[in-house]
Amino acid sequence: MEREHNYKLSLKWNGNTGNGTSDYRAYERAYSIHITNKPDLDGSSDPTFRGDKTKHNPEDMLIAALSSCHMLSYLHVCATGGVIVVDYSDHATGLMVTTSDGAGHFTEVVLNPIVIVADASMIEKANEYHKKASELCFIANSVNFPVKHNPVTLPPPSSAG
């Protein structure tokens, strides 16, 4: 049975420096995102596009959404499949290309999760579960480019020192 899940936010452009968009260089790309009961998020465009490098940009947030969605799906698959994850980190990358007409698109995102499991006997199953997690990830299912995975799964550090 399908169920709908609704999300909403408010976005406010904060970049009018007095002349609006009268010229490409006349305005800042700053904006804020407000979601009820959550901290506001300050954003801008990528610095390549005259943005503020100290603020989150949409491209970073897309990669973050894919990385975090995969992690949450993966932890679920492991929890229901008997693999005990004790640590998880990811160093994700994305490749976007722009075209001569000013448009652009992502060609791929690569997730590089490093997973530590409770016991070395779980490593093989833990590696296999990335495929199932990818199939379940809502965000990965919503994009039109490949989301690749290069997982590394390790046993817990030896307690013998």
- Tens-place pLDDT, residues 129-138: 999 999 999 9
- Tens-place pLDDT, residues 58-91: 999 999 999 999 999 999 999 999 999 999 999 9
- Tens-place pLDDT, residues 15-46: 999 998 899 889 999 999 999 999 999 999 98
Could you tell me what percent of the chain has a pLDDT over 70?
A: 98
Instruction: Supply φ then ψ for residue 12, to 5 degrees.
Output: -130, 125
Q: pTM here? A: 0.90
